[in-house]
Chain A
Amino acid sequence: MTRRPTWQIVLRYALVLIVVGLFTFPTYWMVTMAFKPKVEWSTAHGTIYWVPQNPTLENFETVLTEYRGKFFRANQSSALPSIRSSIIVSIGGTLFALLIGTLAAYGLSRFSVDTGDLPWYIALGRLALLILVLLPFMVLWAWLGIIRYWYGILSFTLLGIGADQLIGRLLALYYRGPTGSLAFSILQLRMFPPMAIVIPVMIMWSAFKLIDTWYGLVAVYGVVTFPFVVWLMKSFFDEIPRELDEAAIVDGASNWGAFFKVVLPLAKGGLASTALFVFILNWSDFLIALLLTTRDWPTIPVFLNSLVSSEIGAQHGPKAALGLLAVIPPVVFGILIQRYLVRGLTFGAIKR
């Protein structure tokens, strides 16, 4: 192989540096800003400080304590409750999604009777039919005035599930081939933009009195990230040969025993990376938390938003400080499970 000319090498590394710089600069700016005093982070002074001249911890102090009258005219609460809230709802939501999602994934991987790929027109047609069937009922429920109450929502949900099943069965009578698959339906949950469903969820949650509670948020986060868990874990379970479960079962283990003693330990690498992925999703969510919390349980992203208002102005320094703090948990989590993130731990169990 001939050596490339020097200018090519230089150009290549220059390009790499530029791209890396573009991507890391915001992080750099946040980190430095967190340690800058107000004169340096605010633009009022008219000078841009690339490096903190007088490093200070006052931004952290500001954001972590109650109003001390230093910068804000309005009352400013501490970020500590929002940190607590973020930790509880993110971990709670992650655990919830992992619990139901992992079990569902195992079921789909091992016991699913769905076969074949669902054609798009069947998938969409089925959905359209369902909406068509449910629409009159929705009007009726609204007319009866019960859609605002928990029993109205619950009955309508059950009606929806029943109608979906009925449509599936009827479709199967006339259409030869796959008319629906549970795995696909679960993925379909993610096909709506969150914005489209979060308003109805807000109305439902308010009927169920789940607004501004940690368990209300945990439930939503669990449901929203559930499809990711199912699809990620299913692919990990699919890679574990069925013979391992069967060997455990023949040796006397129950299905649950085979799952917990053999399959799950072998999939722990996948479980760890799925957990991290879902945790980051929950941790960084802004929209759902904004709409479903009011006073007691706003999360860090929601709190960050409150640091910019007409009363207090844009508090870039404290925002950067809190942002820096918010980066810590995912990073620490990531480092802790780093060794599990390497896939391929289970390979070699079986000679193919």
Chain B
Amino acid sequence: MASVRLENLRKEFGSVVAVKELNLHFPDKKFAAILGPSGCGKTTTMNMIAGLETPTRGSIYFDDRRMNDVPPGKRDVGFVFQNYAIFTHMTVAENIGFGLKIRGVDEATIRREVGQIAELLELTDMLNVNAGRLSVNDMQKVALGRSMIVKPRIFLLDEPFSNLDAAFRAYMRGELKRIQREIGQTMIYVTHDQVEAMSMADNIAVMDFGVLQQFGTPDEIYNQPVNLFVANFIGSPNMNFIPCYFRSEDGKGYLVQKRGNARILLDDRRRQLLEQHPGNQDLIWGARPEHLTLHSEPSRSEYLRATVRFLEPLGPKTVVHLELGDQDTIKVIAHPSYREKAGTVQWIEINPKYLHVFDAKTGFAIR
């Protein structure tokens, strides 16, 4: 196993910059995810780690060895593609044993190793089946097995489960995490699905437009997003964003809504921070729907007045869409049995612990 370190990694395709000066360190034996919308450069990054693409600039290190000039076959990585890339002219056993055969391992050893992998992935009954006849789910298993058999130092997975049906995807997620923990495999997983990244990874790198936005644990990404993009990308339903400005009155700091008059009282630390912030007249505050509570009475003065627009009952929870001030919409997650009618006035409680403030110009979080 090995850690992966990227230093000022850059990739251009003609005039298009796919990855911009990327600095990242994926720790050894950990499960890391690269998360981002399509076209954000995550697959390009992965291909550069595997050696399938040559970086325009920058370095790739496995542990302390620079890998830029090492051909893909010698990097000792396993790669699972989104579309499996199964060799349909071979049997399942030949597919799984491919890497060993290329390395000139003798037949008996190959058969033994293939047997072990097949058992692990529950493919034993299908070893002699032509791989082209497999179901999509089994193809993905074969692809996993083919990469696992060479015992790679780093396991790269490029959206491996996005074509699977929902139930099997959840199952494979669990299996992959179990295998990763069991053998302490360094894994890097590319996905655009935040649920996959949050549920499996130890560390998540969020990317957009070829630029790394944030790298941290799922908790950090979720609770302390560094900018509007990360805050918006993580979480479903996504975070509420309300444009506002800072005002100081009688030694107290407030965030005042721009399209309305909803005011949020700030604690001292935040007040001082924002007082010194040059762009404090152009801010956005953000709060996740799950961190807001609805009340029918304004029992405390900090509660924000809002009007119910419509409900989205999702089963385990209900998403309430409300109007705050003139035009701002705010979503709140309420109890599944919540059934207030449109037009009802409600009072929103914001937990200051979960309040995020961003500079509207730069998009960065202020904290």
Contacts and interface: CB of A to CB of B under 8 A. Distances in A.
A241 to B, nearest CB: 6
Contacts, number: 78
Nearest to A264: B89
Contacts of A345: 88
B147 interface: yes
Interface residues of A, number: 25
B88 A247 contact: no
B99 interface: yes
Contacts of B81: 243, 246-247
Contacts of A295: none
Contacts of A246: 50, 52, 72, 79, 81, 85
Interface in B94-119: 98-99, 102-103
Contact of B50 (A250, A261, A268, A348): A250
Interface string A337-351: 000000001101111
A350 B84 contact: yes
Contact of A351 (B72, B75, B83, B87): B83
A266 B88 contact: yes
Interface of A: 241, 243-244, 246-254, 257, 261-262, 265-266, 268, 345-346, 348-352
Given A348-B132, A351-B163, A250 B88 contact: no
Contact of A350 (B77, B83, B146): B83
B85 A253 contact: no
Contacts of B143: 247
A253 B132 contact: no
Contacts of B103: 252
A253 B102 contact: yes
Contact of A251 (B83, B88, B99, B163): B99
Contacts of A265: 89
Nearest to B53: A246
Contact of B83 (A248, A249, A262, A352): A352
Nearest to A249: B72
A250 B72 contact: yes
B2 interface: no
B132 A349 contact: yes
A257 B147 CA distance: 17
9 contacts: A247-B146, A250-B78, A250-B79, A251-B98, A251-B150, A252-B99, A345-B88, A349-B132, A352-B83
Give the residue among A266, A268, A352 with the most B Cβ atoms within 10 A. A266
Nearest to B51: A250
B129 to A, nearest CB: 14
B17 interface: no
Nearest to B73: A252
Contact of A248 (B74, B75, B77, B98): B98
B136 interface: yes
B239 interface: no
B73 A349 contact: no
A239 to B, nearest CB: 12
Interface in B31-64: 50-52
Interface in B224-277: none
Contacts of A251: 73, 98-99, 102, 146-147, 150
Contacts of A268: 89
A116 to B, nearest CB: 11
Nearest to B74: A252
A246 B71 CA distance: 12
Q: Which 6 A-B pairs have the closest CB atoms?
A: A243-B85, A251-B99, A247-B85, A252-B73, A349-B88, A250-B79
